[in-house]
Amino acid sequence: MANTQLFASQRGRMVPKADALNEAGGTAYQRAPEAALALYAATGCLNGTFYSDASTQLAEVLGLCEAVSPQYVAQTALYARKTAYMKDMPALLLAHLAVRDGELLSKVFDRVIDNGRMLRNFVQIVRSGVVGRKSLGTLPKRLVQRWLENASIDAVMSAAIGEKPSLADVIRMVHPKPKDSEREALYAWLIGKPYKEDVLPLKVRELEAFKKEQGDVVPDLPFQYLTALPLKAQHWKEIASRASWQATRMNLNAFARHGVFEDDALIARTAARLRNAEAIQRAKVFPYQLMTAFRASSNAIPSAIVDALQDAMEVATRNVPKVIGKVVVAVDVSGSMQSPVTGFRKGATSTVRCIEVAALIAACLKRVNPDARVIPFAEAIRECRLNPRDSVMTQAQQLVALLGGGTKVSAPLIELNKERSEVDLLVLVSDNQSWVDTRASGGTETMRQWAELKQRCPKARMVCIDLQPNVTSQSVDSMDVLHVGGFTDAVFDLLASVVSEGTGAHRWVERVEAITL
């Protein structure tokens, strides 16, 4: 008699044979280069992850760029910046285009390089030599000059915050031609050369005067220009009253330390700014950044401000879709999910871990879909009962408390099949490094279990949300299995399209390919 373990009959349709090993050593499916590049663009911060270091990521991205068309690289750069709100990755993709397709670089440059930090990132990456050149070259130099010529005084002043390279370094490299005496004096001031004080921009003149004597009026400039000075409480209150949305979120504790929240009117104004829907959209806020601010809030921060952060979370995640039918959200709480969501880098490691972002996504879906079932899993499923009336923050914290163990992505599907549960939509949030359920041959256990579930629930769909960059997956993209990567609210856009369009929803790569250059 043949070995029944080896030749056991499989339920459901045939599944593709696994053709790769993931970074944890488990069997997996190799992603197509386009899908892999899209995932790296949405999640890769070029820092170390739980399974991979920064240099490996860099090599992987450059290899993927060579494997796809220059047009797709340009489209991915736009997606990474405009949809995934990334900083280093879109600059790297443009640097690749600088040595591969100058025409495409010129087409997308101004849309990707939309602020001074992005400009400095691009220059730094090109001059590092990693893309095959160590000088800007004629076209990139001309594009940088064009950015400087078209930038407002405020944009230039904001761009001058930061080093390696500083904006002064960039100006020395490209020698922009000043369009008037004011811009000529500004460039001279930035690079430390003699300038005509009387033609400097008004804000710069006000700054220089404030440096000499701290009067009552604070110059209307990014506060980084001011914090090295001996500021008084009234100065801090003025800074806080006109701070941008992101500056407000990032400096709540600093404002509290300097007496800003001793003023009831300023508390109310700050809370109103934090929950302002238009300001949240303009700031391109990551939902997890609100979680960070909420979690880091000291006891000195008034409750009205803390409540406003929770209100802001509801705004930042308001495109979470309402789903008709049986919804299951499977959340990976295994040990590798303790990795910072943007990776490890000395002096720049995020305090937010993958587990917290995964928990946040699950809690948002649960909040909008109270009947949704949330299944935490590691090497097996974990028990957790969430109250849909609790805030997103509270529900997420409950899931975070379950962290630990190995990774078995198939675990929630095994449980659903064991129970013979009805499922219309399965959302699986993970770093995708399954190894506990690896098989000696055939398809992955996740695909085997999905095939069995589909036999019982033929209209079921699965959306796999990957939080870390990698070139493999546990499932194969198909009409009923969609992949998306990232940690912005863009993942909810794809979920919404799945809900409204069903199996006709555009694949993630198709969305990137649809971007107009």
Tens digit of each residue's pLDDT (9 = 90 or more) over 94-137: 999 999 999 999 999 999 999 999 999 999 999 999 888 888 88
Separation CA 87–CA 85 (nearest Å): 7
DSSP H helices, 317-410, are 354-368, 392-400
**C-alpha neighbours within 13 Å on the C-beta side of residue 462:** 24
**Helix, strand or coil for residue 388?**
coil
Residue 271: enclosing H or E segment and its boundaries?
A: helix 264-274
Query: 138-150 vs 102-112: helix axis angle to the nearest 10?
Result: 30
pTM of the model: 0.85
What 3-state class would DSSP assign to 244?
coil
Tens digit of pLDDT for each residue in 52-76?
667 888 888 899 999 999 999 999 9
86, 121, 135, 394, 429 from 365: Cα distances, Å = 24, 35, 47, 14, 12
| Backbone dihedral angles phi then psi of residue 420, each to the nearest 5 degrees | 55, 45
Closest by alpha carbon to 93, among 65, 68, 113, 121? Answer: 65
* Alpha carbon distances (Å) from 392 to 93, 362, 489, 495: 35, 9, 14, 18
| Chain segment 2-57, per-residue pLDDT in tens | 555 444 555 555 788 988 888 888 898 899 999 989 888 887 666 655 556 678 88
Q: Which of the two residues, 308 and 48, has the higher pLDDT score? A: 308
Domains defined for the chain, CATH in brackets: 69-221 (no CATH), 317-513 (3.40.50.410)
Cβ density class 67-88: b for 16+ within 10 Å, e for less: ebebebbbbbbbbbbbbbbbbb
**Under 8 Å between Cβ of 107 and 517:** yes
